[in-house]
């Protein structure tokens, strides 16, 4: 098997991306550990999170939404390149472990993912967040609950909406009916843009008793 980025032979074929390409991936500059957006102040968290604290507790992203990960996500979602999921999930795991070493975050009690509405699931054939979450749960030796959350309806495409409309679009979109008392959750998604979706989900998880919500994604869009 060859590296999916440079096409050179892989010493460990199941990794999907060679060590040299991983080293050359674009890295984020200093970011707020809570929202994942650029943060240049000396304070632990950015001014945005101090003014309006998100419902989740930690956000970890591999990189900003730029190439080459942008292209790989596009191929995964719209060209059904499911074979990319293992390599991309490994990048996410490495980013999580890096944050664990630097910030001392703890392992979650369970892992879930951002759900798709069943109609969109049928049209696409899979949920990319679920595909990414499965190997991560296995590597972290944690139970994976893909149906912990339910999506009530199809939301309008977030990309076409204003910031205010995006918030309204997801406020009552998700539900959770499980008892999560004193449980910590790792929420998996491919891209976090405004954060409205994961914020709505995190609210639901904490209403059900979750004490901590970590968000792990491939890319964080810098607005």
216 in any annotated domain: yes
pLDDT tens-digit readout, 97-122:
999 999 999 999 999 999 988 788 88
pLDDT tens-digit readout, 24-54:
999 888 999 999 999 988 888 999 999 999 9
What pTM value is reported for the model? 0.91
24 in any annotated domain: yes
6 in any annotated domain: no
Beta bridge partners of 185: 110, 213
pLDDT tens-digit readout, 12-27:
888 899 999 999 999 8
Name the domain count of the chain. 1
The mean of the pLDDT values for the chain is 91
1 in any annotated domain: no
Asked if residues 87 and 13 have their Cβ atoms less than 8 Å apart, the reply is no
71 in any annotated domain: yes
Measure the CA–CA gap between 114 and 119, rounded to whole angstroms: 15
Sheet with 58-64, edge to edge strand ranges: 58-64, 212-220, 184-192, 110-113, 143-144
Q: Is the pLDDT of residue 192 over 90?
A: yes
N-terminal to C-terminal alpha carbon distance within the chain: 37
134 in any annotated domain: yes
CATH code where residue 73 lies: 3.40.50
**pLDDT at position 122, please?**
82
5 in any annotated domain: no
150 in any annotated domain: yes
Region 194-214 average pLDDT: 96
Domain that holds residue 20: 13-220
**pLDDT at position 55, please?**
97
């Amino acid at each position: 098997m060859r590296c999916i980025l440079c096409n050179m032979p892989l010493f460990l074929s199941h990794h999907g991306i060679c060590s040299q390409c991983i080293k050359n991936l674009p890295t984020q500059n200093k970011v707020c550990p809570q929202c994942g957006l650029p943060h240049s102040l000396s304070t632990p968290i950015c001014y945005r999170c101090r003014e309006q604290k998100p419902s989740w507790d930690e956000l970890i992203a591999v990189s900003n939404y730029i190439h080459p990960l942008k292209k790989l996500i596009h191929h995964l979602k719209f060209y059904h390149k499911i074979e990319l999921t293992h390599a991309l999930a490994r990048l996410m795991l490495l980013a999580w472990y890096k944050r664990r070493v630097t910030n001392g975050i703890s392992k979650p009690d369970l892992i879930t993912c951002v759900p798709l509405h069943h109609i969109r699931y049928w049209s696409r054939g899979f949920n990319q967040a679920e595909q990414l979450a499965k190997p991560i749960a296995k590597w972290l030796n944690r139970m994976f609950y893909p149906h912990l959350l339910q999506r009530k309806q199809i939301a309008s495409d977030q990309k076409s909406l204003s910031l205010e409309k995006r918030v309204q679009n997801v406020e009552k979109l998700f539900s959770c009916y499980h008892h999560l008392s004193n449980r910590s959750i790792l929420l998996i998604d491919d891209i976090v843009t405004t954060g409205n979706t994961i914020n709505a989900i995190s609210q639901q998880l904490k209403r059900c008793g979750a004490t901590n919500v970590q968000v792990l994604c491939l890319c964080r869009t810098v607005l």
